[in-house]
Structure 1
Amino acid sequence: MARIKVIITSQEYSIQPFLANDLITQEALKHKYKVDSEIHSHKIMQKSFVTEPNLENTDIIIQVGEEIEENRFIGLPIYKTTFEKILNNTEQELLNAIHLIIKNKKKQNSEIVNNVFNIVAVTSCPTGIAHTFMAAEGLIQAAAELKFNIKVETQGSVGKQNTLNDADINSADLVIIAADTKVDLSRFQNKKIFQTSTKQAIKNGVILIQTAIKEAKLFSENLNNSDPEANQSSDKNSSFKQNYKHLMTGVSYMLPFVTAGGLMIALAFALGGIYASDDSYKDTLAWALFQIGAKGAFPLMVPALSGYIAYSIANRPGIAPGMIGGMLAVSLDAGFLGGIISGYFAGYVTEFLNQKIKLNKNLEGLKPVIILPVLSSLIIGLFMLYVVGKPVAGLMHYLTTSLNNLQDGSAIILGLIIGGMMAFDMGGPLNKAAYAFSTSLISSQIYTPMGAAMIAGMVPPLGVALATKLFKTKFNKEEREAGNSTALLGISFITEGAIPYAAKDPLRVIPVFVIGSAIAGALAMFFKIEIKVPHGGIFVLPIPNAVVHISGFMIALTVGTLITAILMGIIKKPILK
C-alpha cells in the first residue's frame, strides 16, 4: 500500500485547499492508499502531518498549489500538481503520482542488478576501537543482503586497515563515510559521497545504504561541500551535531599523546620512584622517561586537541592556527578549556577567511599555505593573549582546585554522574562527553575522573556477561554463547560490547546498566582511584603506577558488575521455549 503525504499551500483565504484535500483523501481510500496531509491556508498552517515525511514512512509527496521548501523532503519523490487539476480529475492526478512511485522504485532496483553496484566506505570513531569496527561490520552485512560489492576501510586506533586504493575508489559508484570524526575526503574527488555516523551503520546498514543511494552528492573540494552533515537532512540539532563531531575529532587525535605521556611517566616512577624527575636522577633511564612523558607528550595534548578541532572545521589550513592557539592555551595555563576554545575559534576564523578572501587563479594556491595560516594565527594569537587567556586560566585554576579538593560527598556525586553517562548510550554522545571530560583532565594531572569513567565503562558488558551465566533462562542460546566475548570486551574497557543486549530490550536493560555503572563510578571516586592512561581496562593494572589504589579498582568494578548482573536477572523476563 502506497504511503502518500499531501502538502497543500495557498496564500489566499478560501475553502479550496480543504476541498482538494478531501477529494484526494476520498480517492485514495477507494484505491486503498494511506494519506497524511498538511494544509497551509492564508499563510497559516491549518493542518499538519501526523508524522514528518521521511524515507521510512513516505513513498511520495503530492504538492498542490504554490511552491514548497523542497529541502524539507530531501530524497523523497515529489509530484507537483494544481488545484484545477485536482478539482477536475482527482483520480487521474492520484494515478499519475502512483506511476511516479513505480517509476522511482524501478530506477532504484535497476541500480542493484547483477552485483555491479560498487561501494567503498570509511568508518572511524573517536577512540578508534569498537564503533569503528561495528560500523564496518554493519555495512558489510547490509551490502551482502542487498547484493552489492563493498570494501570498507577502518580508521581505528591502530591506523588504517583494509585501505582503499586508487582502483577501489575509481570503480566505486558510491562512497559512504560512517564516522564520528573528521575524515579526509580529498581522495574522493568527483565521487558521490554520503556522510553519516557510525551509529547509523550499526543500527540499520540496509536503510543507510538505500538512503545513501538516493541522497549522496558529488564531492569536489573546489565546491567547498565537504561539510560533515552535508548529506543529511537539516534539523534543529545539526549545528550541535557538527560541533560535537569537531570536538570528537580533536579528542581522537589527542588520545595517543595522553596514552604515551601517561605510560612514560608511570614507568619513570616505577623505575626511579616519585623523585624520578629530580636533577639527582639526571641521565638515568627513569629521568629520561619522565622527560619524554611530562615534557614531550603531555605539553602536546592541548595543541593536538585544539589543532584537530580546527582541522575538522576548516580542513588542513586550520591545523597551524589551531595548534598555535593550543600552545598559547598551555603557556597561559588555560588548559584543555582554552584548547577547546582556541580550536573552535581558529577553525571558524580560518573557514570565514577562506570563504571571504578571493584571489586570482594564479594566486589561489597561496591561500592554504601562506595567507590563511598567517592571518588566522595572528588573529587567534591576539585573541588568546588579550581576550580569553587570563579568564579561562582562572576558570581552569578554579576547576582544578575544586576537583582536587572534592569532599567525599561531592566526589561520589561526580562519580555517579560520570558512571551513569558512560553507560547510558554506550559510545554515544553522553558516553563520549563523559570520556572526553575525563581524558582531558589527565593533562592537568587530575586522574580520578578517568578512574570513574574507565571502571564505569567496563561494568555493562561485564555485568551482562555474568548475568548470562547466573540467569541462563533469561537469555537465548546466542546471547549465552556471546557472553564470553562480551566479557572480554568488558575487561578491555569496550562498553559497546553490551549494545546487542541493550538493543533487544532497551527499556529494561539500559536503566540497569546506568545503575550499575553509576554505583561503580561513585565507588571509584570514593576510593580516590587514579588512572593515568585513557584506555586499556584491566590490562593497565600491571603497568607500574598507571593505576593508584588497585584494590579499590577491583572492589568498585566487582560491585558494579554484581549489581548489574543481579538486576538483569531480576528485571528480565524468562525466554519462552
Structure 2
Amino acid sequence: MANLLAVIAAPDRSTQAMLAGEALRQAASKLKHKIDVEIHTAQGVQQPLSASAIASADAVLLLGEAAAQDVRFANSHTLLSSLEAVLADAEGQLKASLNAQTASSALRIVGITSCPTGIAHTFMAAEGLSQAAQKLGHSIRVETQGSVGAQDTLTADEIRLADVVIIAADTQVDLARFVGKRLYSSGTKPAINDGENLVRRAIAEAQPHATSQAAGSTAAATAATASQSEQRSGPYKHLMTGVSFMLPFVTAGGIMIALAFALGGIYAFDDAHKGTLAWALFQIGAKSAFALMVPILAGYISYSIANRPGIAPGMVGGMLAASLGSGFLGGIAAGFIAGYGTDWLNKKIQLGRNLDGLKPVLILPVLGSLLVGLLMIYVIGTPVAALLAMLTEALKSMQGSSALLLGAILGAMMAFDMGGPVNKAAYAFATGLIASQVYTPMAAVMAAGMTPPLGIALATKLFADRFTADEREAGKAAGVLGISFISEGAIPFAARDPLRVIPSLMVGSAVTGAISMAMGVELKVPHGGVFVLPIPNAVTNLGSYLVALVVGTVLTAVMLRVLKKPLAQ
C-alpha cells in the first residue's frame, strides 16, 4: 500500500475540484492505496496536508499551476496533471504518479552505523549500505559512529534533503537530528549480510520520525523516546550500549594498573609507595577509571532506554551498585531499572507546554534517581552483591575440568556469530568481571576471538586448494584483523559456507578458551589483541597464552582442511 498525496488548486472551478478529489479517493481505495487530498477553492483550503503526511508520501499528484509551484514538494516525487485528466481517469492518473515515482531520479539516502565496540561492524555496515545503495542507483552518505567518534558526519543540509534515513546500529543513536524525516532502523547485520534488501525495505517501510511536542531538550527527549519503540530495540541493544561506553574505562584502567605493577611491583598501591609514578598510575587506573566502570555501564544502559533524562538516574544507581558491592550485575540491574523507570515517568507525567521543560532537568532526574536508589539500597543491592560474591569466588577457584568447560563454552560463543549477540554476550560477561578482579575469562575470550580469523588466514595459506583466489587474498586481511582481536574478519568466509566454516571456527576457539582457562591465564585489558601482550603484567603466563592461541589457530585450519572440499580446477 502506497501513501499518496494530491493537491488540487482550482479556485475558479470549486465544484469540479471537489469532484476530482472524490474521484481520487475512490480510485485510491480501489487500488488499495491511502490518499490525502488538499483542495484549494475560492472558499479557502480544504483538508490541508500535515507535515508528517508530506514527509511519508510515496508520490504526489499536483493539479493546477499553483499546486505545481508549491515549495512544500520541492524534494518530493511529483506528477503534474489536470482536472480533466483526473475526472476522465482518476485510477490511471494515480498509477501514473506511482510509475513516475519509480522512474524518478535517484533517492537521497543518509545513514548512521554503530556497534558496541565501534571497530568492525560499524565500518562493515557502512560499506554494505554504500555499495547496496549505489548498486540500486541511489546516492548515499553514511556517518560512522565508531570507537574514535563520529566520522563523515552528516551535515544539516544533507539531512534536510534526504528522502530516507537508515540507522544500522546495535547501540543507541541520538535521533534528534532526524525529526520529521522518513526513518528506518535495524541492526548492523542486515547491512553487512544483505545491504540491498535493507535499502529496499527502508525505502518501502520507513516511517516519519516523531515530531517534537515541546521546545528545547524536552523535544529531543520526546522524539528519541518515541523512536525507541519504532526501532524494535530490546534489552540486548540497551546492554550493548552500556558496554560500548564502559569499554574505554576498562581499557585505560587495565593498562594503567598493569604499568603500575610493572614499575612498582604488586604492592605499588601501598602507602609506602605514595608519591611514586607507580602509585600514581594505580590511583588513575584502579581508583578512578575502574571506579567509573559500573556507573558508566548503568548510566548508558539507562540512556539507551530513556535518552538523556535516564543518564543521571542510571549513574546514581550504578554508583550505588559499586558501593554496595554488587558490581557489574548490580550495575546492569540499576541501568534497566533507571531506564525503564524514567521512561515510564516521562510518559505518565504531563505538565503542559509551559512546565514541560522542567521534566528533563529537574523532575525526571530527581524521581528517577529516587526510584532506583531506594530499590538498590533496600531491595536489590544486597542480594545481587551476595550473588556476585558467589560467582567471583567460584570463578577464582575454578580449576581442572570446570575451568576447561567454562573456557570451551566462552570460546565457542566467541566463534558462533563473530560480533553478533552470542559473541557479545560472552564478551560482556568477561569485561564485567574485570571490575571484580576476575581476569581469567577475559583472557579466554580475547584469545578465542582472535582464533577464527587467524585460523582462516592460516588455512588459506596451507590449504589453498580449498579456497578461491578472492578468498586467498581476503585471508591476508583476516590475519591482520585476527591479531587485532577483530573476529569479524572471519565473517565473509562463514557467510559463504556456514555449515563447514562455523563448526571449524567454534572447535578451534573452544580449544583455545579451554586451554587458556585451564592454565589460569589472566588478562587485565579487554581489547587490543597481540598488541597489548608486550605490556608488562597485562597478561600473566604469557607462554601458555600463546600456546592456547597457536593450538586453536592450527586446529581451526585443520578442521577447515577436513570439512571443505577441494575446489574444481
The answer to whether the 8 A contact 2:481-2:489 is kept is yes
Percent identity over the alignment?
61
Q: Is the 8 A contact 1:317 1:373 kept in 2?
A: yes
The SS at the match of 1:426 is coil
The 8 Å contact of residues 399 and 518 in structure 2, kept in 1 or not, is answered as: no
Question: Which residue pairs with 1:545 in the alignment?
Answer: 537
Q: Does 1:486 align with 2:506?
A: no
**1:149 has 2:147 as partner:** no
Q: Which residue of 1 aligns with 2:412?
A: 420
Q: CA RMSD in A?
A: 2.2
- Distance in 2 between residues matched to 1:544 and 1:167, nearest whole Å: 50
Moved runs in structure 1, 4+ residues, more than 2 A?
A: 102-115, 220-232
- CA distances 1:62-118 after superposition (whole Å, capped 9, x unpaired): 9xxxxxxxxxxxx9x9xxxxxxxxxxxxxxxxxxxxxx9x98898377256333x11
Q: 1:301 aligns with which of 290, 293, 297?
A: 293
**How big is each residue's C-alpha offset from its partner over 1:555-576, in whole Å with a ceiling of 9 and x where there is no partner?**
0000000000011011101111
* SS of corresponding position for 1:575: coil
Among 130, 134, 147, the residue aligned to 1:140: 130
Do the aligned partners of 1:177 and 1:195 also contact (CA within 8 Å) in 2?
A: yes
Q: Residues 374-417 of structure 1, C-alpha deviation per residue, up to 9 Å, x if partnerless?
A: 01111111110000111111111111111111122111100010
Q: Distance in 1 between matches of 2:204 and 2:369?
A: 41
The answer to whether the 8 A contact 2:108-2:140 is kept is yes
Pairing partner for 1:387 from 379, 383, 389: 379
Supply the AA of the counterpart residue of 2:427. Y
TM-score normalised by the chain length of structure 1: 0.80
Please list, as runs of the form range in 1=range in 2, the aligned pairs for 1:175-194 lying within 5 A after superposition. 175-194=165-184
- Is 1:339 paired with 2:322? no
Partner of 1:477: 469
Q: Does 1:398 align with 2:390?
A: yes
What is the aligned counterpart of 1:503 among 492, 495, 499? 495
- Give the SS at the match of 2:234: helix
* Conserved 8 A contact 1:196-1:229: no
Report the counterpart of residue 54 of structure 1 in structure 2: none
The letter of the residue matching 1:488 is: V
Report the TM-score, using the length of structure 2 for normalisation. 0.81
Q: Structure 2: any 5+ residue segments left out of the alignment?
A: 1-30, 34-55, 59-90, 214-221
User: Aligned partners of 1:556, 1:410: CA distance in 2, in Å?
Assistant: 17
3-state SS of 2:328 partner: helix
Structure 1 residues 106, 516: closer, same or farther in 2, change over 3 A?
A: farther
Partner of 2:242: 250
Distance 2:194 2:153 in 1: 24
Among 334, 347, 350, the residue aligned to 1:358: 350
Write the mapping of 1:209-220 to structure 2, written as runs, cut at 5 A: 209-220=199-210
Separation of aligned partners in 1, 2:96 and 2:462: 50
Q: Distance in 1 between matches of 2:32 and 2:329?
A: 47
1:275 aligned onto 2:270: no
Q: Deviations over 1:269-303 (max 9, x none)?
A: 11111111111111111111100001110010000
Do 1:178 and 1:195's aligned partners in 2 also have CA atoms closer than 8 Å? yes
Matched, 1:259 2:247: no
Q: In the comparison of the two structures, how many residue pairs are matched?
A: 476
**Structure 1 contact 308–319 (Cα < 8 Å) conserved:** yes
Match of 2:66 in 1: none
Partner of 1:168: 158
- Aligned pairs for 1:22-33 within 5 A: none
The answer to whether structure 1 residue 536 and structure 2 residue 528 are counterparts is yes
Q: 1:204 aligns with which of 194, 203, 208?
A: 194
The SS at the match of 2:140 is strand
Identify the match of residue 430 of structure 1 among 422, 425, 443: 422
| Unaligned runs of at least 5 residues, structure 1 | 1-59, 63-74, 78-99, 233-237
Q: Which letter does structure 2 place at the counterpart of 1:311?
A: Y
Give 1:114's match in structure 2, choosing from 85, 100, 105: 105
Cα 1:518–1:476 change in 2 (3 A) is: same
- Post-superposition offset of 1:361: 0.9
SS class of match (2:398): coil
